[in-house]
Amino acid sequence: MARSRINVITNDLITDSGSVLWSFVKGEQLEFPIVISFINSVLDNYEFEAVVVEGANVLAQEDPPVTIQPGGVQTVLQVRLPNYEGMWSSGNAYNMEDVVLYENLYYKLLTGAGYTSITTPDVDENWEETTLNKLYVQFPKELASTWTISPIVDSPVYGFFELRITEPNNSILQKTWKPIRGMVEILFSPTDIVP
């Protein structure tokens, strides 16, 4: 069988579901959950890096930039992992966002500090079902505050986003994935310009 030419792509051996677009009003500070579907365990031993790099925005642009701003702002985002507490026990005190195992399902505490209850997580309204392979990316309110171009009423500015995950060192080949990439859109905010 003849081989296909190197520049004629017929198979994509590594696929993804596409790029993401995060949209924020300038000055918003938000956190987003991301489920890492290819990891089915506690994420504590993995390394995570989420970054936004300023795009080469121009004033009153109609389309997102296609390159980064030379010497532009590079922002490292915080990645928060849930606190896995192991098997649920009615005698233990739990804090908001703690994750426990009960009847082969994982539950996250929605509220409280030092919360104790004899009601099991599967029926207690203070708990919700979750997974172990979820992390949270935090976007700070200062994002884009020092970019070269600021958004105007009818024209946002953009940065480039990527999440990198590296597995622990104890494997034969330490794998690194970049499962989420895309753009961050920053929209105009009246409260950002009023002192």
What was the pLDDT predicted at 1?
59
d(CA 124, CA 98): 14
On whether the CB atoms of residues 88 and 124 are closer than 8 A, the answer is no
- For the whole prediction, is pTM greater than 0.85? yes
What was the pLDDT predicted at 168?
87
What was the pLDDT predicted at 80?
95
- Output the tens digit of pLDDT for each of the chain's 195 residues: 567 777 776 677 677 777 899 999 999 999 999 999 888 888 888 999 999 999 999 999 999 999 999 999 999 999 999 899 999 999 899 999 999 999 999 999 999 899 999 999 999 999 999 998 999 999 999 999 999 999 999 999 999 999 999 998 876 888 999 999 999 999 999 999 888
Q: Which of 29, 38, 63, 3 is nearest to 183 (CA)?
A: 63
d(CA 83, CA 48): 16
d(CA 82, CA 55): 31
3-state secondary structure of 15: coil
What was the pLDDT predicted at 49?
97
List the domains of the chain with CATH numbers.
20-37+45-81+134-193 (2.60.40), 83-131 (2.10.10.20)
Q: Report the relative pairing of strands 20-25 and 30-35 from DSSP bridges.
A: unpaired
What was the pLDDT predicted at 91?
86
Q: Which of 120, 117, 121 is nearest to 108 (CA)?
A: 121
3-state secondary structure 69-94: CCCCCEEEEEEECCEEEEECCCCCCE
d(CA 181, CA 52): 10
d(CA 87, CA 82): 15
What is the residue whose two structure tokens read 């590296």?
Answer: 166
Q: Which of 123, 135, 124 is nearest to 97 (CA)?
A: 135
